[in-house]
Amino acid sequence: MTDKKRILICPLDWGLGHAGRDSKIIQSLSARGHEIIIAGSGLSLSLLKTEFPDKKFLSIPASNIKYDRKIPAWLVILKQFPGWIINIIREHRILNKIVSNEQIDLVISDARYGLWNSKIPSVLITHQLAIKLPFKSNFLERIIMGTNRLAIKRFNACWIPDYQGFPNLGGGLSHIPAMPENARYIGPISRFDGVKHEADQELKYEVVAVISGPEPQRSVFEELLTRQLAGFKKKSLLVCGRPGVKENVNLSDFCTRVSFLTGEELADILISARFIICRSGYSSIMDLASLKKTAYLVPTPGQTEQEYLADYLSENNMFPYCKQKNFNLQDAISVLDNYKSKHLEFDPDLLAKAITELEEMGKPGIPTSQQE
């Protein structure tokens, strides 16, 4: 019988995607009888408090990247990189205290590179083994990739939420020539995995648009969609992704703007939508793939990961996209109306096997750390 563990799960607070995909892992571990404690900050922590009100929550502040409307996101991140490194050191120290005070048996860190501990097993979740630059430089990309590999080695295991072979969702982000030795593909993970719906299910909305991502581009995208949906003469819904805010506004006789939906509510809305518009964040892609729904992607300007994903998925006939500056609602509808998308099948056994391996970590004869 598997020993029950106290497991600390820590999502990154850059948008809601990391918290959303961690919901599936929290559900799976809870179903096996493990005690889950959730640590983090900001909107991602607010989302998980809404989804799991019975869990214990702790604070681990994240690096507060301040984006700009005019400066590209990659340049903003580069300028604030020293502060990000300092925060990694700070969060590592905070984690060590939490592990001791809360008697944690295992840590699962979603894209937070400082949250490993040398005394207990630690797992990193990331789909970004490669960092895409806005310009071509094999030399710099190799340096960044090597640095990333060194950071990943701090963890006992690196879970990659994608398929190992082709087709896959992450492309060159999650598949690199020299894979980390502790890497394991666990398949795409989504809080909507297991949601059932009929192929001929009634469509309640002509268009559903979902807002996500960091400010200020989150609000820029919301303003753009608000203007265009306000003049749209068919039933539509704008989901703003603001946990903790309860505000429903009728933009017109046909369009409603809601501040937030729970995971269950959002799944039902997406299933009942004829056309979907959203960002090309990786967690959003996994959610849509889980529901076998196609969407018109609008990557966050300057976020090279989203721009790469949108281009990669479009090339492989999975999702269409356009740049935010070129977005037009009627054009998006026209493209989606004629789009034939390829859908991937989810394999829940991959995550289940990874969790079983996780449960074995730390037992006699099984190493608990990648380092001395």
pLDDT of residue 364: 44
Domain limits for position 21: 6-188+347-360
> Read out DSSP for 205-217?
EEEEEE--SSTTH
Examine the domain organization and report whether 115 and 233 are in the same domain: no
pLDDT of residue 247: 81
Examine the domain organization and report whether 33 and 174 are in the same domain: yes
pLDDT of residue 106: 97
Q: Which two three-digit tokens encode residue 267? A: 């799944």
Residue 15 has pLDDT above 60, yes or no: yes
1 found inside a domain: no
Examine the domain organization and report whether 126 and 56 are in the same domain: yes
pLDDT of residue 174: 96
Provide the whole-model pTM: 0.89
Examine the domain organization and report whether 113 and 211 are in the same domain: no
Q: How far apart are CA 288 and CA 31, in angstroms?
A: 24
- In percent, the amount of the chain with pLDDT more than 70 equals 88
199 found inside a domain: no
The pLDDT tens digits for 165-217 are 989 999 999 999 889 999 999 999 999 987 877 666 789 999 999 998 878 88
The answer for residues whose C-beta is within 8 angstroms of residue 257's C-beta and 6 or more apart is: 226, 237, 238, 240, 248, 249, 250, 251
Examine the domain organization and report whether 39 and 148 are in the same domain: yes
Examine the domain organization and report whether 275 and 305 are in the same domain: yes
Examine the domain organization and report whether 271 and 354 are in the same domain: no
36 found inside a domain: yes
pLDDT of residue 372: 35
Are 323 and 299 in contact by the 8 Å Cβ rule? The answer is yes
Are 297 and 321 in contact by the 8 Å Cβ rule? The answer is yes
Q: How far apart are CA 223 and CA 264, in angstroms?
A: 26
Are 98 and 8 in contact by the 8 Å Cβ rule? The answer is yes
pLDDT of residue 369: 44
254 found inside a domain: yes
What does each C-alpha distance from 105 to 22, 121, 190, 290, 318 come to in angstroms?
A: 18, 7, 25, 31, 40
Q: How far apart are CA 291 and CA 195, in angstroms?
A: 7
278 found inside a domain: yes
283 found inside a domain: yes
Pick the range with the lowest mean pLDDT from 22-31, 35-44, 143-152.
143-152
Average per-residue pLDDT in the chain? 89
Count CB neighbours of 91 within 10 A.
22
Q: Which helix (H) or strand (E) holds 235?
A: none
The pLDDT tens digits for 239-286 are 998 877 778 889 999 999 999 898 899 999 999 999 999 999 999 999
Mean pLDDT, residues 334-361 taken together: 91
Examine the domain organization and report whether 181 and 283 are in the same domain: no
Of 269, 213, 212, the C-alpha closest to 237 is: 269
Residue 365 has pLDDT above 50, yes or no: no
Examine the domain organization and report whether 160 and 248 are in the same domain: no
Q: How far apart are CA 358 and CA 368, in angstroms?
A: 10
27 found inside a domain: yes
Examine the domain organization and report whether 155 and 66 are in the same domain: yes
Count CB neighbours of 355 within 10 A.
19
- Local structure of residue 283 (DSSP, 8 states): H
Peptide bond preceding 216 in cis form (omega within 30 of 0): yes
167 found inside a domain: yes
Tokens 């995208």, located at residue = 221
Q: How far apart are CA 213 and CA 224, in angstroms?
A: 15
Q: How far apart are CA 204 and CA 193, in angstroms?
A: 22
Residue 78 has pLDDT above 90, yes or no: no
Examine the domain organization and report whether 333 and 352 are in the same domain: no
- How many domains, the chain? 2
pLDDT of residue 371: 40
Helix ranges, the chain (H):
17-31, 42-51, 73-79, 81-102, 138-152, 217-230, 263-271, 282-291, 304-315, 329-337, 348-360
Q: Which helix (H) or strand (E) holds 113?
A: none
Examine the domain organization and report whether 275 and 216 are in the same domain: yes
Q: How far is CA 23 from the centre of its chain?
A: 10
Q: Which helix (H) or strand (E) holds 369?
A: none
Query: Domain of 31: which CATH number?
Result: 3.40.50.2000
